Amino acid sequence: MDMKRVKDYIYWLYFQYLLITCSYVLEPWERSMFHTITVTVFAMVVYTAYVFVPIHLRLALEFFSQILGGQPEGTV
């Protein structure tokens, strides 16, 4: 791909983000605060999913394996 096309595509994605969030009507300092809060919340969601989803999946797998007649881990 041509670098100009990649740059244009990234600019287009950013513009779509501005349109969807309606942040293009904000003043520059408001837009900066909005982006900071959005990135912070997104990072917290990703971190929480990374830490807690595997634990809950493992517990759910153990629970359903016991319900469906699997052997307990101590007897294997």
- 16-65 residue pLDDT tens: 999 999 998 999 999 999 999 999 999 999 999 999 999 999 999 999 98
Contacts (Cβ under 8 Å, ≥6 apart) of 18: 24
Residue 69: the pLDDT is: 79
Answer with the residue of higher pLDDT: 3 or 29. Answer: 29
Which pLDDT does position 6 carry in this prediction? 94
pLDDT of residue 68: 85
pTM for the whole thing? 0.64
CA–CA separation, 15 and 62 (whole Å): 46
